[in-house]
Structure 1
């Protein structure tokens, strides 16, 4: 396991593909083995900083740095929502490298199963799901945007509140083959101003479970000091202060908040 971790951090990256739908350069890579033919290659996502498009409302730091900071926060909470994410060198310079998640396939020849975040006919919300909004699809049909009423997904929604995630699309929540639910694409998080945009609004006004709040309380007590020092390599002091304020706000009122912006859903939603 230690050897695999070392390869993840320092092994040579070989580009095997590119995510063409991403707005910034997003490459799929494999980490070369160390000459051991029996070693499984490590698949990763690599986003070089030089491939980032500047954002006027996120002028400080880098998107890669924000992804790493988001991972550090998820780990400090003990939630493991975000796959292991580091900043390291690659074939196109320094960038974010994140472990690839092998997802489940809900659409097979044996039948279809709804994804964690999906669409259904308007008002026909199945058991175990929550409706977020109603809209019209490309064919003119009225549909409901829904997400699973799943504690693994709710934990991600709470993390997004703390991260002030401005881009939680449906495609950024992955159901892993290992049974975990993972969140990816955290490049526009941790702003000082309210920017939460998410498709996970189904729990608005609902109390957050005691277990998650206990984790947030422990995180709040540990945030000053070493953790803040780690985060300061990637985000500003003002952004760390804003993270602290969001954390204490959630502890003071432990319910899922309502939207505070005029555009609470990212576009596209998937």
Structure 2
């Protein structure tokens, strides 16, 4: 039994507009399979995509508050020139510079998408040379070692590194982005605007997987979702995530 991260779920007032931004930003494709807007690396809608973690943009009426998201993306670059070109292109698409307390002299650039969701354009790093456009999915946390214990049991992605400052996972196939739990001083005060969606493997029992997560410390979450085929939970630090129904 195992679960795999298959997409990031982003809430947006204008889902199609945010989807267009991210499709152009990543050089990926945009699909409208229903009320949501899906952005993925394949030329057709393949869910889950075997080579990457997609982005599912869900329309909501509430705009993002001024509070910094506790989940964000780090984008990869291949050279200093590519990083500068990427930042310029993203600004032309509607991204804006944002100060999240990063200070002066950092080698990465912090931007926000058209609805204020923060992300970083990283300087070239050898570890990210084969991730694709998304280098890392970053989750702020208080205790990376505790997150490593929970998420190491929750998903089938191997743990590559864990310290007091971060825990780093990647898919067992060694493709796509890393998942990083990064120690930060700020605390969670509002529901996550961005969260992970997990998927059981074909033939696995979703309810058994959900029960396993509860035994690990996950807690049921009621967002007013009603009777839906997925299950909403929170991890031991309160980060929301969903377990989807296998197709």
Larger fraction in helix: 1
Bigger relative contact order, structure 1 or 2 (CA pairs below 8 A, ≥6 apart): 2
TM-score calculated relative to the size of structure 1: 0.25
TM-score calculated relative to the size of structure 2: 0.27
